[in-house]
Amino acid sequence: MRVDPRVAHTRRVVLDAAVELLTECGFDRITIDAIADRCGVARSTVYRNWPDRHQLLAEAFDSMCDLGDVPDTGSVEGDLTALGRELARGLTDEPWGKAISSLVGAATYDPELRQGQAEFSRQRRDEVGRIFERAIARGEVAPTEDVGELTTLFAAPFFYRRLLSQQPLDAGFVERHVATTLRRIATR
């Protein structure tokens, strides 16, 4: 089905405005009026394309979160290092990294946003999990290891540092964390 180019353009303009506002002020303070004002369209135009604020914000956040392909360097160390660098950069410099703390806060009180946050988390866990699945297939990680547990072991400290402790996610952290993860895998 072919989409009218004017509709596609309008949807892009509205999504771009929603992304800007998510980055600037977070999930809680965004209204459809603010988005419509930002991009210069009528509220009815926004509602014609998205039935409610939650769906628009979920799509806007999702559009921010293209983390690229899961690294496949041929080794678990290389994959974790590449992913760790990208994750640290995204959480520090990308619009989604700035917006995620407001998503976590808003999702605490909003079931629809909580559902969106859960989907975002599931997709990210699946991506990290592929690294450990390949490592198991290559014999770098014992086949008895729980991929979900390894995924949490690796990813959680990035989000903890960004969302709670406000410690830097610099190259030194990534290097130390990859080394720690590899030592934990090796000793199990």
The pLDDT tens digits of the residues spanning 55-105 come to: 898 888 888 876 678 899 999 999 999 999 999 999 998 888 888 888 888
pLDDT of 28: 84
Integer angstrom CA distances of residue 8 from 12, 14, 163: 6, 10, 34
Instruction: Give the confidence band of 188 by pLDDT, cuts at 50, 70, 90.
Output: low
Average pLDDT, the chain: 90
pTM, to two decimals:
0.83
